[in-house]
A = this chain, B = another copy of it.
Amino acid sequence: MIDNFKIEKIIVEALKEDKDTYDITSEWLFSDDVLSSANLIAKEDGVLAGIDIFEYVFKLIDGSITLEKFVPDGDKILKGQLIATLKGSTKHLLYGERTALNILQRMSGIATMTAACVKEVSHTNVRIVDTRKTAPGLRILDKMAVRVGGGFNHRFNLSDGVLIKDNHIKACGSIAEAIKQTRLYAPHTLKIEIEVEHISDFIEAMNARADIVMLDNMSLEDMRECVRLNNGNCILEASGNMTLDRLRRVAETGVDVISIGSLTHSVKALDISLRFD
């Protein structure tokens, strides 16, 4: 169920982008009453994400198009598997095809990679989370796909999370001062997060009672030391250069959260195709 005006706007803009005037190929080949059915089929293994949005693309074009869904979001799909069947006006199916697939393939690509990361750390309590490194304008979908893949969302934007970085700290003189000043004004519903690169900075942040400390580009040993020193005080978030093979070892340091930019900034589309009967 799509009850989200921001997603609706994304879809409408994408559909306008793909048809400036009319579909000059189909216009003269199909009359309005020609109907088709088409099968949505996985061309490789992965995790499905965005099937409701895929459906909504067609609903926005033509309310009489129907989609029978055989796989829900979050399920694994195997190469060759039938995901859904679409029926309706041929012209309208062809109009929505590319936009709907572009969304579905991107979201499923994100979910698939997220699920792989989640699996890698599943023997721990670590959360895999995303970042703000998303495709411009598509953050809401990119972050939805991360959730579908079993990951969690970091802050959505600059307004709904506090994250004190290097240059914020410089401006205030010290980590302790930056945390103190931020807490003075930030909404009481939010936790204060601060980014550190060294163990000594971590200690200062912990002592200043940061809620979350991001350990940025730290070595495994340093992370382990921070975990030991932390002793459950702050939430510890590891960040920076999180390749799939390093993930397990990072998770095993005992951090609570691992944030991974590549989940959304370097997406490999999952191959899914729409086959007309």
Contact = CB atoms under 8 A, between A and B. Distances in A.
Contacts of A36: 167
Contact of A29 (B139, B152, B172): B172
Interface in A127-184: 127, 129, 132-140, 143-144, 152-168, 170-172, 178, 181-182, 184
A135 B132 contact: no
Nearest to A183: B28
Contacts of A87: none
Total identical chains: 6
User: By DSSP majority rule, is chain A's interface helix, strand, loop, or mixed?
Assistant: mixed
A267 interface: yes
B140 A138 contact: no
Given A5-B16, A30-B171, A158-B95, A25 B188 contact: no
Interface string A69-89: 000000000000000000001
A204 interface: no
A34 B171 contact: yes
A73 to B, nearest CB: 12
Interface string A263-277: 001111100000010
A57 to B, nearest CB: 9
A15 to B, nearest CB: 6
Interface string A15-37: 11111111111111110101010
A105 interface: yes
Contact of A185 (B4, B27, B30, B136): B27
B159 A19 contact: yes
Which range holds the interface residue count of chain A? 35 or more
A197 to B, nearest CB: 13
Contacts of A269: 133, 262, 265-266
Interface in A1-15: 1, 3-6, 10-15
Nearest to A53: B136
Nearest to A36: B167
Contacts of A55: none
A132 B190 contact: no
A158 B191 CA distance: 17
A99 to B, nearest CB: 6
Given A3-B91, A21-B159, A22-B158, 19 more contacts: A18-B132, A19-B157, A22-B144, A25-B164, A25-B165, A28-B181, A28-B185, A29-B171, A29-B182, A30-B171, A94-B167, A98-B133, A127-B188, A138-B138, A152-B185, A166-B276, A188-B237, A189-B193, A266-B267
Report, nearest first, the 6 A-B pairs whose CB atoms are least far apart: A160-B160, A14-B136, A20-B159, A265-B269, A23-B158, A28-B185
